[in-house]
Amino acid sequence: MSQVSVLREPLDIIGHLLSFEGKQDPYPLYEQMRVHGPVADVAGAHFFVTGYAECAWALRASDVLLSTDAGVQDLRLPGWREHASWVWLTRNMLFSNDPQHARLRRFFGNAFSAQRVQAMRGLVEHQAEAVLDHLAAAGADGAPVDLVAEFSYRYAIGIIGGLLGVPAADQPGMRSAIGDITLALEPIGDPAVLAPGDAAMSRLAEYFHALLARLRAEPGPDMTSAWIKAADESGDVTDEDLVANLMLLLVAATEAPQDLLSNTVRLALEHPHLHDRLRADPEFVAGFLEESYRFDPAVQVLNRVAATDFEFFGRAVTAGTPLTLLIAAANRDPARFPDPLVFDPARAENQPLTMSAGSHYCLGAALARMSVTAVLPELLRRFPGMTLAGPGTFRDQIVQRGHAELPVVLG
């Protein structure tokens, strides 16, 4: 019997997905899950969703499907209150449900409107130039350079750090803390795995409390200073809310953009015949980026839990049941995308779920797009001979999936 004809059960597929090898290339495993239909389940106790329409619906149904807030964690991860990582995560907007989510999103959301993001262009372009200079110096001797550390991370944290008022000198030292915090988002068997995320979160919380004190005394032109003023005037946003959401913004605007930028550059280097168009045609760059989002997303899985009993595409879901939304699989659903396994930057009506949908739709989506489109053509202009110096490895993570290292030579 050939490998292909073996029908694996959903739990067996998830077991493989959670192995290190599975995370290096999860895409064949998603296709195995799809064989069970767009909504697979384990005896009705856990649902795994690979369909695009089904995932999109679930993300928009925040009345019946909850994000992982404190109440959900009481059900899913007893003892979580002893872990600083999740104590702080459940205070941010991403891991909240209404009314807390609406309150926090209203307060922080305006700063990332399309108009406000346009006004960030100068800062973004300045960071692009600075990181390209840094990369040129790092690879000047012709030896391979790690694109993740020397380019993607520095660029992403340079932008959000500049916006939040985190001094440039503090940014390089935050890399391991940010990475450790994203580990807390992985499916957790043994809560002991939270230890690095707990330590990192406690350190970062202390850092942001001190930043608040400094900027309250001496405000700057940054977003944090503006939020401190607004919070002090309105009285309905506490310092704890500020710290939790500043940490969310720092982590969300560093790790996922770092991973997506690395994936997008890798895909560009794998398609050298497209470089002339990527250098010259901004519309083509926008399409290329969207297809990179679809094809190799930096966030592969989102979790929701049923708030009540309800019917989901003909299936009975009972209150408290988890739904694992495999959005990276939904991005390759043949019912939504023709030839889904083909990388096609000219794809029409491309709307991957990489940035989510509904009320938790990524707050930084416009900023993330502007950041990549501002740097990718310039990277290819500046280093026309750049090539991959190896296949690159992926971290041992599936929720926040990205390259551990991606060696390139500048040429």
- Listed in order, strand segments (DSSP E) in 125-252 are 145-146
Residue 257 as a binder of ligand HEM (CB under 6 A): the answer is yes
Task: Return the residue nearest ligand HEM (CB atom).
Answer: 364
The label of the residue with tokens 């305006």 reads: 110
d(Cα 160, Cα 250) in Å, to the nearest integer? 6
Provide, rounded to whole angstroms, the least separation between the CB of residue 245 and ligand HEM.
7
For residues 74, 204, 184, 309, the Cα torsion angle rounded to the nearest 10 degrees is 40
Q: Which of residues 173-202 bind ligand HEM (CB under 6 A)?
A: none
Is the CB of residue 271 less than 8 Å from the CB of residue 325? no
- Per CB under 6 A, does 93 bind ligand HEM? yes
Position among 184, 285, 367, 374 found at the interface with ligand HEM (CB under 6 A): 367
Q: Is residue 253 a contact point for ligand HEM (CB under 6 A)? A: yes
- Using CA atoms, how far residue 326 sits from 132, 187, 330, 372, in Å, is 35, 13, 6, 24
Q: List, in order, residues 6 or more apart from 217 with CB less than 8 Å away.
A: none
- Longest Cα–Cα distance in the chain: 71
| Cα 235 to Cα 174, 206, 229, distances in angstroms | 30, 22, 10
Q: What are phi and psi of 326, to 5 degrees?
A: -85, 80
364: contact with ligand HEM by CB under 6 A: yes
Backbone angles phi, psi at 274, to 5 degrees: -95, -5
> Cis peptide before 384, with omega less than 30 degrees from 0?
no
Q: Check binding of 90 to ligand HEM (CB under 6 A).
A: no
81, 94, 85, 91: which is closest to 202 by C-alpha? 85
Residue 254: closest CA among 140, 170, 327, 132 = 170
Find the distance separating the first CA and the last CA of the chain, reported in whole Å.
Answer: 47
395 binds ligand HEM (CB under 6 A): no
240 C-beta neighbours (distance < 10 Å), count: 12
Out of 32, 50, 62, 67, point to the residue binding ligand HEM (CB under 6 A). 67
d(CA 267, CA 282) in angstroms, rounded, equals 17
User: Cβ of residue 191: shortest distance to ligand HEM, in angstroms?
Assistant: 21
Quick one: which of 132, 243, 302, 323 contacts ligand HEM (CB under 6 A)? 302
Site string for ligand HEM, 33-62 (x = CB under 6 A): --------------------------x---
> Of 17, 243, 260, 329, which lies in the binding site for ligand HEM, with binding defined by CB under 6 A?
260
- Does 324 interact with ligand HEM (rule: CB under 6 A)? no
Minimum CB distance to ligand HEM, residue 95 (Å):
8
* 402 is a site residue for ligand HEM (CB under 6 A): no
Shortest separation between residue 1's beta carbon and ligand HEM, angstroms:
38
- By CB under 6 A, name the one of 29, 194, 204, 256 that touches ligand HEM: 256
Q: Which window, 23-31, 306-314, 348-356, 401-409, contacts ligand HEM (CB under 6 A)?
A: 348-356
Q: Least separation, in Å, of the C-beta of 332 and ligand HEM?
A: 16
Pick the closer one to ligand HEM by CB: 17 or 156: 156
Contact region with ligand HEM (CB under 6 A), list: 8-16, 205-213, 228-236, 354-362: 354-362
* Closer residue to ligand HEM, CB minimum distance, 47 or 139: 47
The reply to whether 246 sits near ligand HEM by the rule CB under 6 A is no
- 157 near ligand HEM (CB under 6 A): no
Kindly determine how many residues on this chain lie close enough to bind ligand HEM according to the rule CB under 6 A: 25
CA pair distance 45, 138, nearest whole angstrom:
51
Question: Could you list the residues that contact ligand HEM (CB under 6 A)?
Answer: 59, 67, 93-94, 105, 112, 248-249, 252-253, 256-257, 260, 298-299, 302, 354-356, 360, 362-364, 367-368
